[in-house]
């Protein structure tokens, strides 16, 4: 594999990581938007949304951690690349390795997993907090209607 191929692969993986995080944020936003606009409490819908979200979050986290691992392996390949294997490219490769490679750092797999789980917990707490708020509001409305009808 050529040095340019490794560098290209590294940045393609960075773009894919960004895409996975973007999808994750959009799903969270959509889920919380739907949870916020619902008027009536519905335990079954909340439970199903929780199950579906947890399934999505698990698969998304799996893809993110796998891609992060691959990205680190690519970075190691870049750092260990032997420019003597391609003498014609030695100048630009050495400049790239000296100037750019030290800046190619990303989060660890464990930090990606930890952040993802943290966001998942906050998302579920927010969704169920909204559900409990709807339930309390619904009970207050019922109590008010009951008092007014008496």
* Residue 45 structural domain: 3-149
Cα 27 off chain centre by? 10
pLDDT, tens digit, for every residue of 43-63? 888 889 999 999 999 999 999
* Number of compact structural domains in the chain: 1
User: What is the dihedral angle through the alpha carbons of 125, 128, 129, 131, rounded to the nearest 10 degrees?
Assistant: 170
Record the pTM: 0.71
If you ran DSSP here, which 8-state letter would residue 86 be given? S
pLDDT, tens digit, for every residue of 12-52? 999 999 999 999 999 999 999 988 888 888 888 888 999 99
Distance CA 79, CA 43 (A): 53
State the CATH number of the domain containing residue 81: 1.20.58
The token pair at 19 is 């895409």
């Amino acid at each position: 594999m050529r040095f340019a191929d490794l560098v290209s692969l590294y940045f393609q993986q960075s773009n894919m990581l960004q895409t996975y995080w973007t999808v994750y944020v959009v799903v969270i936003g959509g889920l919380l938007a739907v949870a916020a606009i619902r008027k009536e409490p519905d335990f079954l819908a909340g439970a199903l949304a929780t199950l579906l979200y947890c399934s999505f979050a698990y698969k998304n986290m799996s893809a993110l951690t796998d891609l992060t691992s691959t990205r680190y392996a690519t970075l190691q390949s870049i750092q260990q690349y032997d420019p003597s294997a391609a003498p014609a490219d030695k100048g630009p490769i050495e400049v790239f390795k000296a100037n750019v490679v030290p800046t190619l750092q990303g989060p660890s797999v464990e930090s990606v997993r930890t952040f993802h789980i943290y966001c998942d917990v906050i998302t579920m707490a927010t969704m169920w907090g909204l559900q409990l708020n709807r339930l309390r509001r619904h009970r207050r409305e019922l109590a008010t209607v009951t008092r007014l009808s008496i």
